Structure 1
Amino acid sequence: MFERFTQGARAAVTGAVTHAERIGADSVTEEHLLLSLLDRTGSRSSFALAALGLVDHRGSVEAQLAEARRRGGLTKADTEALAGIGIDVTEIVARVEGAHGAGALAGDRGNRRWWSGHRPFAAGAKGILVKSLRIALGRGDRFIGEEHLLLALTACSGVVADVLADHGATYTTVERALYGDEGRGQAEAV
């Protein structure tokens, strides 16, 4: 699959690894892929992210991602579902952090070193890479570019897709920013 990645997509994946290493994460996640795409310039995906205002609201995006990490990676839907059965996630997080310290549910232990020196990709990040291939194939593209990674981040449910949607970047709006109206719906069924 990686032989189909464009130079820009490879740089985005490498950038995600760099983000994970910088914060001492145990693995590369979807969040790191998004942050790496936000770092990129001069590409189709960077144009779409700028057109949708995410570049200007990067601080807000990072704050929402940090809050989700603090909740142990629960999405808004997860939090609302738990609230529906009487479980207050905010209260649970406060109690856990009171007993074990701030960020106890974040999952990154930071003190674990991999003997090989490399960070593995978490299941969700691997899923994004696979979904980007499916999106590329669905569009009839013979390559996987940064734009396919961005579309995959919006298409796979989870915290990153929630944060993107909160900032107006859904699959439909990203696809419109990337391809205009003529490219809509080509890979939605993928």
Structure 2
Amino acid sequence: MFERFTTSAREVVRGAVRRADGTGGAPVGEPELLLALLDRTGSPAAHVLAALGATARRASIERALAEARRRGGISATDAEALAGLGIDVDAVVSRVEEEHGAGALAAATPRRRRSRGRLDAEAKSVLERSLRIAVGRGDKRIGDEHLLLALLARPGVAANVLADHDVTYVRAERALAAR
């Protein structure tokens, strides 16, 4: 599959691996892929993210991703939904951190060092979806725009954070078509 990736798409994956390695060798996940997409300039995904205002709101997106990581992957949207059921996620996180230390839920994997550059199940799923999206659009190559659409295609931390910043699959697809 990687042989079908454009240079830009390969750079996104490499950038995500560098970001994960910079955090102590954690596996590459959706947040790292999203941040690597936000690092891009001059590519189809960079154009879409800029057109939809995500580039300008990067700091807010990074804060939302960090907060979701602190909550063990629960996005603000998920926390709101749980609050509707009477579950105060922030109270739960605070209690866990009191007992186990700050960032206890952020370390969803055991504290041992993981292999560098490994993709978690969600990241692998994003890459697989990007192939299906490219094929569905009649594209012969997988570009960073397909990675962006794959992140937005299903609920997940990245899609929820982007939706909170008015970036959705439909809006991204329209921005690509308008390009």
* TM tier relative to shorter chain: over 0.9
1:165 corresponds to which of 158, 163, 174: 163
Matched, 1:61 2:61: yes
1:135 corresponds to which of 133, 136, 152: 133
Per-residue CA deviation, residues 121-174 of structure 1 (Å, 9 max, x unaligned), is: 000000100110010000000110000000111112111101111111100111
Aligned to 1:124: 122
Q: Distance in 2 between matches of 1:8 and 1:81?
A: 36
With 155-164 and 105-114 compared, the bigger mean Cα shift is at 105-114
Structure 2 SS opposite 1:56 = coil
Matched, 1:34 2:34: yes
Aligned to 2:107: 107
Q: Distance in 2 between matches of 1:109 and 1:24?
A: 12
Q: CA deviation at 1:59?
A: 0.4
Q: Distance in 1 between matches of 2:27 and 2:21?
A: 9
Aligned to 2:178: 180
Aligned to 1:144: 142
Q: 1:154 is aligned with what amino acid?
A: L
Q: Is the 8 A contact 2:130 2:146 kept in 1?
A: yes
Q: CA deviation at 1:45?
A: 0.7
Report the aligned-residue RMSD: 1.8
Mark the runs of 5 or more structure 2 residues left unpaired by the alignment.
none
Q: Distance in 1 between matches of 2:111 and 2:46?
A: 33
Q: Distance in 2 between matches of 1:41 and 1:84?
A: 39
Q: CA deviation at 1:88?
A: 1.6
With 103-112 and 157-166 compared, the bigger mean Cα shift is at 103-112
Aligned to 1:7: 7
Q: Distance in 2 between matches of 1:78 and 1:51?
A: 26
Q: CA deviation at 1:78?
A: 3.6
Equivalent pairs, count: 179
Q: Distance in 2 between matches of 1:141 and 1:121?
A: 24
Mark the runs of 5 or more structure 1 residues left unpaired by the alignment.
182-190
Q: Distance in 2 between matches of 1:25 and 1:173?
A: 34
Q: Distance in 1 between matches of 2:6 and 2:117?
A: 21
**Matching of residues 16-55 of structure 1 within 5 Å:** 16-55=16-55
Q: Distance in 2 between matches of 1:76 and 1:50?
A: 23
Identical-pair percentage: 58
Q: Distance in 2 between matches of 1:29 and 1:175?
A: 23
Structure 2 SS opposite 1:143 = coil
Bigger relative contact order, structure 1 or 2, given CA contacts below 8 A and separation 6+? 2
Matched, 1:93 2:81: no
